[in-house]
Structure 1
């Protein structure tokens, strides 16, 4: 572990359980890490996925107050193009859903960042994220009698050993999309807790902390969205 990251980890506040208020923001953590370019690049690879989720939710009308870290407000709203590395080479076959092209490019880019940096955490995180996303795609495709191969992304990066059977059962019973998102993030939190010992005493420990912070912020946003939805219903 580099000296700066060891110092950072010693100085960072402890994180509470799901639903608790984040003690710091992603922006604050990113600023603290900015003095270490290698660590900052890995945080960017991790946090960009959350920005893209917020963008997707906003464009779908599910989130009116996104809080991006890396993308600009115009990019979040779809008014300006995304970074070049999220564009699709002309040689790739177009996806049925344009958003899938962006996710396909993101996962491959993030996996490449993990490989270049030797980040075991980021590689495993992307592998389980791809596996989870594609598992949900298969479930939706089966329910709608669609051809799933047209909607899978970066399938070669997916963790082949991931088992989401129990999660799928819970997710299928969710009363609304917000509850479904909570269930998915609860799984992600458990995954982090189950595997956090793998990443101790390495630079990846900082990334594991950042991923937990990212989930706490996401829960905070979901709480606000749920409160707004309930207010409208009243």
Structure 2
């Protein structure tokens, strides 16, 4: 399946026969469990008899949960063993032994909570700017964010990228795309989405979707992963 970029850090905890085969622009990897940062383009994941728990973490908590900055995951997909060491296989064993999916979800929640409580936190100013970007669906004027938190532009851009994984302008572009592509998946027309989502025109929307997914808006709208996001 094609994994569409999303404004979150993705964890996949695999507990089937595995492995997961991940194809990215830089090559192919075989992984049991993985972490992917804020993606710049789509990647493909394949496997047979695969079962997994997929978790999408806000970059504001991903820093603490992963034990590394999301910026370190830029353009890469890494094994959770590289991040968590021996605890990653133990977590997989616990998930396999769980009796139901609800038990697996509960185990995952507990794991994330424990790691989140002990890991590093992002700066309040960075968190506030991220919330502004998400709340505006990517339509905030990022040039004004530094003044709103009383930081220099250079300091905000540096800290934001280090702690979130993308510079503010790119983060806003990703959030805007995410909102637009889900509206496409819901069956809305591209022209109306472009007009209401801050794009210059329909061609601008087309270029952004092609950049993030590698396919046209019509093809992206049919991707199965988008259809279940609201349920998930």
Same fold (TM > 0.5): no
Q: Which has the higher strand share?
A: 2
Q: TM-score range by the shorter chain?
A: under 0.3
Q: Which gives a bigger RCO, structure 1 or 2 (Cα 8 Å, sep 6+)?
A: 1
Length-normalised TM-score, structure 2:
0.27
Q: Which has the higher helix share?
A: 1
